[in-house]
Structure formats: structure tokens, C-alpha cells
Amino acid sequence: MLQQGQTFGIDDRYLLISQLGKGGFSEVWLADDTRTHVQVAIKIYAPGTGLDAAGIEIFTKEFSLVFDMNHTNLLKPTYFDSYENQPYLILPLCKNGSAFKFLADGRRITEQECWNMLHDVGAGLAYLHSKNPPIIHQDIKPDNILISDEGHYMITDFGISARVRSTIRRGRSTKGGEGGTLAYMAPERFSSRPKAIMASDVWSLGAMMYELMTGDPPFGDSGGSAQRGGEPIPDIEENYSEQLKGLVYQCLSKEPENRPLASKIEDLTYKYLHGIAWSSNDLPKPKPAPQPEPEPKPAPKPKAEPQQPSRPLYGSQAIGTQSVQGSQMNRGSQMHYSDQDRYSEQMPPEIPVPQKSNNIWMWVAVGVAAVLALCIFVAVLVFVVFGR
């Protein structure tokens, strides 16, 4: 455990004077460089416990990627090393402290200070996001925004990736998420497969500004998880311009694509600070809420064809109709027939059937006439043969 008056570093180079800040996996101390007799800020990671050799190697590789970055709004380390398996950075001493002083002093940040901070932090993030691949800070909050002697706001801890944070947590046997402070973490960081993106830093910037303007983070300690669950952005009731409130609300948009880029924040705040007019039309348009799809209309029921009147069936007509009826039964209630079925149902013309007569007298008359004719024939034959 680090203590006041303790020496730290090779050859006991740094004398710890007082603790300036403490986080989940690091401590910041005011220290005296015994070689130069210059006061510096020393940030020690995994204090007391340290990391294993693999952890130190990961930490060193990660910092080598960002150590040479140079921007007005980035607090650049002047030295990096590890001592007793504890990585540490030597940083320029910012006597004005961090943006957290606005909360610690119990006073609200002024409108002008809001615009200055939005511009400087936006510019620093735009620089980090412009790298290939982009560098995502993942932990924008008041403690990580320091104030230079000239009054500029500078981002610190920009080299601490999720991989490094995870390595430190394992070394310290602590639990945590992907990296970052819950109150300033964007909604997408709470998904089943969280991934930090550039827009996540913009949301964190909006949450930080909201807290500095109102005294509390927009969703308390729950951060973006509450917004992900459906909670709206609370109104900023303090006396700030609608233009400033609108920009902060835009940064806190639930959907990442509705948030302005860090470069856009830098541009808009520059215009404001230099008296160049801009309007809400310069901000990205909110994504429209998805509209429910209209319910499909039910298909119209087919009209039943008029049934033919019942007639007696003959021969193959009866067989064809039975086939049609069987087809109808297999198709359920559909009244649909094939062309062949339709031809089978066409009725041939009726064939007349001779009717029997019950008049017996007609047959008697015919028989009498036949007998008389036979008698006449016999008489004529006798006359011809015997009359000569």
C-alpha cells in the first residue's frame, strides 16, 4: 500500500508527497523528482499488488502505441516504466486539478466554461478517433479531464484500453465490465456483446457535461443501462442556453448514429466561441422511431360457383360426377374445379323414352283386322283354284 513520504521507482527517484486521486485500478500522487527537484504527477497502476510478467508486457505494448501522440488537449506522459511489477506514468503536474473540482466545490460550471470544455474534449477525442485504428478512450469522466495552467482542458488516461483494464483487474482480483465507469457508460456498452465505439466516447462526454451542469449524472449510477431500458433523458432545468442543452441532449442520444462525431462537436463549439452562427440543423437528424408494420389484410374468400340443378345421371356422367365430388372432398371447402372437371359436369340432352300403353282394345282391333285379312286371302285363293 502506497503511503505519504514513501519513495517509489528505481533508485528511490520519486518521493510521494500527497495523493491527488484514486480510481479502481490506479492512484495519482504528487511527487518530487529527487533528480531534478521538479514536482510531477505520478500515476501508478495496480498499486500494492502489481502485475505478472504477461500483464507488464501487455501494458507496455499498449502504451507504446500512444506514447508519441501529441495534441494540445491530450495530457502526454513524459516517462513510462514499471517498478516492483507496478506500471507507472510520469505526467506534467496540473495545479488546477481536474474537472471534478466543479463537483467537489459544489458550484455549477458556467455557460462559457461548458463551451470551452466541450470544444477542448471534443478536439482531443477527434484526434484520437482519427487514428487508424481509432483509439477509443472508454472512460471519459470529470476525473480524467485535467486543467492546464493556461486553462485548457486535457484528456488523460487515453492509452488505457479494455485489454489493459481487464489485465489490471485480473491482477487485483476485482470484478468489472468492459472498462469504464458505469455512470458514464453508453447504452450499447450494456448489451450482451458490448463493444466500445467512437460514439460511446461522445455519450460519455454528454453524461459528464450533464453532471457538471446539474450536479448529477443523467441516469445516476446506472448510466446507459437505464436508457437502454427505456428511460428518457431527464431535462436540464438549470439556466443554460437552449443551444447548449440541445448539444448535450444530442450527445446523449440512445442510438449511436444520432450522436454527433467528436469532430462535429469541435467544429460547432469553435463556431460558437468565435461568434459564428450555427443552428440545430448542423447536428445529425434523430433517427425516426420504427413504425409498426401494418397487419396484412385477409385474402378475400373465393365465391362459390352456382350449383347445377339436380338431374338424373346416366352412364359415364354418373362416374365423372363422382370423381368431381371426390376431388371436392379432398380440397376441403374450396369451390374450385379443373377444366376437365367442368367438362365432366356438362349435362347431355335428355333422350326420350317410349311410354307403354294400357289400352287392350287397340290390340283386339289389330288382331281382328289380321284375321279378316287372312280369311279374305284364303277365299280369293280357293276361288282362283276351284272356280275354273
Which residue matches cell numbers 491482477? 171
Q: Specify the DSSP class assigned to residue 196.
A: -
Average pLDDT over the chain, rounded to whole?
81
pLDDT higher than threshold 60 for residue 128: yes
What pTM was estimated for this model as a whole? 0.70
Neighbours of 88 (CB within 10 A): 24
So what's the pLDDT on residue 163?
56
Helices (H) and strands (E) in the chain, counts: 11, 8
The better pLDDT of the pair 160, 152 is held by: 152
Catalytic residue among 139, 143, 157, 267: 139
So what's the pLDDT on residue 274?
95
Lowest-confidence segment of 48-62, 240-254, 292-306 by average pLDDT: 292-306
pLDDT higher than threshold 70 for residue 160: no
Question: Degrees (nearest 5) of the Cα angle 9, 10, 14?
Answer: 40
pLDDT higher than threshold 50 for residue 80: yes
Over residues 10-48, the pLDDT tens digits come to: 999 999 999 998 877 889 999 999 999 999 999 998 898
Q: What's the CA gap between 266 and 260, in Å, rounded?
A: 10
Average pLDDT over residues 323-348: 45
Over residues 228-268, the pLDDT tens digits come to: 999 999 999 999 999 999 999 999 999 999 999 999 999 99
Active site residue 139: yes
The kind and range of the H/E element at 248 are helix 242-251
